[in-house]
Amino acid sequence: MQGIFQGESKMAEIIRGKGVISGIAMGKIMLAGQNLDGYLVNYEPEDKETEKKKAQDALTAVAEILRESIEKLKSKDMKEQAAIMEAHRMMVQDPMMADNIMAKIEELGNAPKAVLKAAEEQAVMFEQMEDEYFAARAVDLRDVGKRVAKYILGVKEPEIGDEKVILCGREIEPSVIAGMETEKIAGVLLGSGSTTAHAVIIAKARAIPTIVGLNKEDRIDRIADGDHVIMDGERGEIVVNPAPEDIASYDEKIKKQKELAAHYAALKDLPAVTTDGVKVDLMANIGTHMDVDNALNYGAEGVGLFRSEFVFMGRQDIPTEEDQFKAYKEAIEKCKGKLCVIRTMDIGGDKPLPYLNIPEEENPFLGYRAVRISLQRRDLFLPQLKAILRAGVYGKAAIMIPMIINVAEFKKVKEFIEEAKLELAHEGKAYSDDVQVGIMVETPAAAIMTPVLAKYVDFFSIGTNDLVQYTLAVDRGNANISYLYNHFNPAVLRLVQRTISSARENGIWAGMCGEMASDPNAAVLLMAMGISELSMSAPSIPRVKEKIRSISSVKAKEILADVMAMEDGDDIRNYLQKILG
C-alpha cells in the first residue's frame, strides 16, 4: 500500500470538510467542475502577449485532447458522441475563433475571460440565426469555450484514464460524475453542496467516499491538481500528500472497512423483515442504467427511483424517444422482473439543462421545474412517456411524476399517457399496458391532499429531500441553515404519516425515495407508520435492513407513539439515537 505514494517530497497537510459518504479513498486529485467563477477570480493574468500565447497553446492542446477522445469513442463504437466531439474539434481549430479570442485579449487582457467572451458572442450570433441547427451549435460553442478556458485555468476535464482519481471542485455538475465509470472515481471532494446536492446523490448511489463544504475559508484551494490524497469520507478528513506514517495509520481503518463490508454482504439475500414478520421492500435510487448492477449487489429488491433527468444531462441536445427507450429498457431488463420506477424528468431546481434555454429564475426551486416543464413541452414529455411505455414490455415498470401539487396536473399527465399509447398503437410499436402511474409526494400541497390524490394514482413515493425544504422553508443546499433541515421535524413527520395513512385507506402503496429513507432510525418509524417500500442509495440498504431485522413492529409502534407526542425535531433525533443507537 505504501508504494502508491512513493517518491513524495511535498509536506503533508490535513484539511477538514464535512464527510457525507463514508469510506477511505486514496488517489490522485483531478480538478473538475463546470462553474468557473471561483477559478476566474483567482486567476492572475500576465502581459497581453503571454495571455495570447496561453490562449493559442490551449486551443492546440484542446484540439489534440479532443482528437484522442474521438479515437477512444470510435474504438468503443460510441459513434454519436464521437461525432459531437468531432464538431467541437472543428470549432477549436476554426481560425475565426482564434481571431476573435485574440481581439478579446487585446480588450480584456485576460486569456480565460477572453475565450469565454468570444465563445459567448459567437454563440449569441448563432442563436439569432433563427435556425434550429445553428441554435443547437450555440450550446456547443459555449461548451468548447469552457473547455479551452478550463485548460488555461488548469481545471482539467475528468478525462477517462487508467488511474483512479479523486474528483475535486468548487462545484461539480452531476453529469460529470454520471458520465464517468464508477471504477475510475476513488472519491469526491466538493466545495459546496450538502447531502442532498445531486452530485452527492449520484456519488452515494455508487458508494464513492465524498466530502463536501470545502469552500469554507477557501480550503479547497489548498488542494492542487495531481496532489496525492487520502480521504476519510466519514470523518471529513483529507490528508494531502501524506507521509508514509499517515498511510500506515489508515491501513487499520481500511481493514475495518473491509470487515464491515463483509458483514453487510452476508445480509444481501435476507429480507428486511421485523422480528414479528412485518416486511418492507428495500429498493434503490439510481441515476443511470449503469447503477442497477451495483444496486442489486447491495440486495436491492428493485429500483424505487430512476432519476431520468440524468438521461437528459451531460449531452448537447434532447435525447430522442429511441435514445431514452434504450436507456430505460436496459435498466428494466437489468431489474430482472423486479419493479423499476422511472421518474419523468425533473429538470430545474439545481439540475439545469443548458440546451432547454430556460430563462434564469430568481427562485429555481419554486419555478419552472419537473412536471411543470413536462406539461408545457409536449415535444419533451410525449417521447419520454412513449419510451417508458415501450421499455415496460421488457419487465415491470412504473411511471412516477415529480413535483405534483394538485389533482389537475395528474389528470393532464394521464391524458398525455393515453395520447402516448394511441400514438404507439398507431405507429405499430409494442408497449406495456400494465405500467403503474404514481406521484412523488414532495410538496406540502400534495401531502395535504393525499386523501384526494389517492383516488387517482397507483402509488405515492415520498420525496423528503424536497418535502423537508418546502415544508420548513429551508433550502436543501444551504450549509448556513442546514441545522434546520431535519426530517424528524414534527411538521414533516405529520405530512409523512398522513401520506402513508391516505395510501393505506385507499388501497394503494406508499413508499419513500427521499434521503430520509436511508436513515435507519427513520426507517423504524416509517415501518411503524405502515410504509411498504423504502428506496435509497444502494450502499445504505444493508444498514437499514439490519435495523429493521433487529426490532419488532410492536416495539416500533410504541416508539412511534412516543415520537408523535414530542414537539421538537432535534429532541426526536436525540431520543431515537438514545433508544435505537
Q: Which does 38 bind (CB under 5 to 8 A by kind): Mg ion, ligand PEP, none?
A: none
- On whether 475 is known to bind a ligand per the annotation, the reply is no
Q: How far is the CB of 148 from Mg ion (least distance, A)?
A: 35
Nearest CA-CA partner of 348 in 371, 324, 329, 332: 371
Calpha distance 577→405 (Å, rounded): 34
Calpha distance 187→32 (Å, rounded): 12
For 384, residues 6+ apart whose C-beta sits below 8 A from its C-beta are 308, 321, 324, 344, 345, 374
Q: Which does 241 bind (CB under 5 to 8 A by kind): Mg ion, ligand PEP, none?
A: none
Q: For residues 140 and 442, which CB has a smaller minimum distance to Mg ion in the complex?
A: 442
Q: For residues 25 and 462, which CB has a smaller minimum distance to ligand PEP in the complex?
A: 462
Q: For residues 138 and 280, which CB has a smaller minimum distance to ligand PEP in the complex?
A: 280
The single residue of 168, 335, 340, 513 carrying the catalytic annotation is: 513
- On whether 465 is known to bind a ligand per the annotation, the reply is yes
Q: How far is the CB of 196 from ligand PEP (least distance, A)?
A: 6
Q: Which does 469 bind (CB under 5 to 8 A by kind): Mg ion, ligand PEP, none?
A: none
Q: How far is the CB of 518 from ligand PEP (least distance, A)?
A: 11
Backbone torsions φ then ψ of 232, nearest 5 degrees: -115, 105
Calpha distance 194→19 (Å, rounded): 10
Interface residues with ligand PEP (CB under 6 A) are 196, 305, 307, 346, 442, 463-466, 513-514
The single residue of 88, 198, 289, 487 carrying the catalytic annotation is: 198
Q: For residues 173 and 442, which CB has a smaller minimum distance to Mg ion in the complex?
A: 442
Q: Is 348 left (phi over 0), alpha (psi -120 to 50) or beta?
A: left
CA distance readout (Å), 222 to 13, 25, 173, 355: 9, 18, 21, 34
Nearest CA-CA partner of 467 in 484, 491, 483: 491
Q: What residues numbered 442-471 form the site for Mg ion, per CB under 5 A?
A: 442, 463, 466
DSSP state of 580: H
Q: How far is the CB of 370 from ligand PEP (least distance, A)?
A: 8
- Residues 453/446, Cβ–Cβ less than 8 Å: yes
SS (H, E, C) 261-299: HHHHHCCCCCCCECCCCCECEEEEEECCHHHHHHHHHCC
Q: Which does 533 bind (CB under 5 to 8 A by kind): ligand PEP, Mg ion, none?
A: none
Q: Which does 143 bind (CB under 5 to 8 A by kind): Mg ion, ligand PEP, none?
A: none
- Residue 309 is a binding residue for Mg ion (CB under 5 A): no
Calpha distance 554→471 (Å, rounded): 30
SS (H, E, C) 304-341: EEEECHHHHCCCCCCCCHHHHHHHHHHHHHHCCCCEEE
Q: Which does 514 bind (CB under 5 to 8 A by kind): ligand PEP, Mg ion, none?
A: ligand PEP
Q: Give per-residue burial for 135-153: e unless 16+ CB within 10 Å, then b.
A: bbbbbbbbbbbbbbbbbbb
Q: Which does 569 bind (CB under 5 to 8 A by kind): Mg ion, ligand PEP, none?
A: none
Q: How far is the CB of 156 from ligand PEP (least distance, A)?
A: 28
Q: Give per-residue burial for 319-348: e unless 16+ CB within 10 Å, then b.
A: bebebbbbbbbbbbebbeebbbbbbbbbbb
Q: For residues 442 and 533, which CB has a smaller minimum distance to Mg ion in the complex?
A: 442
- On whether 219 is known to bind a ligand per the annotation, the reply is no
Q: How far is the CB of 343 from Mg ion (least distance, A)?
A: 9
Single-letter amino acid code for the residue at 474: V
State the binding string over 314-343 for Mg ion (x if CB under 5 A, else -).
------------------------------
Residue with cell 467542475: 33
Q: For residues 262 and 473, which CB has a smaller minimum distance to ligand PEP in the complex?
A: 473
Q: For residues 301 and 442, which CB has a smaller minimum distance to Mg ion in the complex?
A: 442
- On whether 466 is known to bind a ligand per the annotation, the reply is yes
Q: How far is the CB of 270 from ligand PEP (least distance, A)?
A: 26
513 is known as an active-site residue: yes
Calpha distance 66→280 (Å, rounded): 48
- Residues 40/133, Cβ–Cβ less than 8 Å: no
Q: Which does 464 bind (CB under 5 to 8 A by kind): Mg ion, ligand PEP, none?
A: ligand PEP
**End-to-end Cα distance, the chain:** 34
For 41, residues 6+ apart whose C-beta sits below 8 A from its C-beta are none
Q: How far is the CB of 307 from ligand PEP (least distance, A)?
A: 5
289 is known as an active-site residue: no
Q: For residues 400 and 524, which CB has a smaller minimum distance to ligand PEP in the complex?
A: 400
Q: What residues numbered 416-445 form the site for Mg ion, per CB under 5 A?
A: 442
Q: Would you please indicate which residues are annotated as catalytic (active-site) residues? A: 198, 513
From the annotation, which residues make up the binding site for Mg(2+)? 442, 466
Question: Residues interacting with Mg ion, by CB under 5 A?
Answer: 442, 463, 466
From the annotation, which residues make up the binding site? 307, 343, 442, 465-466, 476
From the annotation, which residues make up the binding site for phosphoenolpyruvate? 307, 343, 465-466, 476
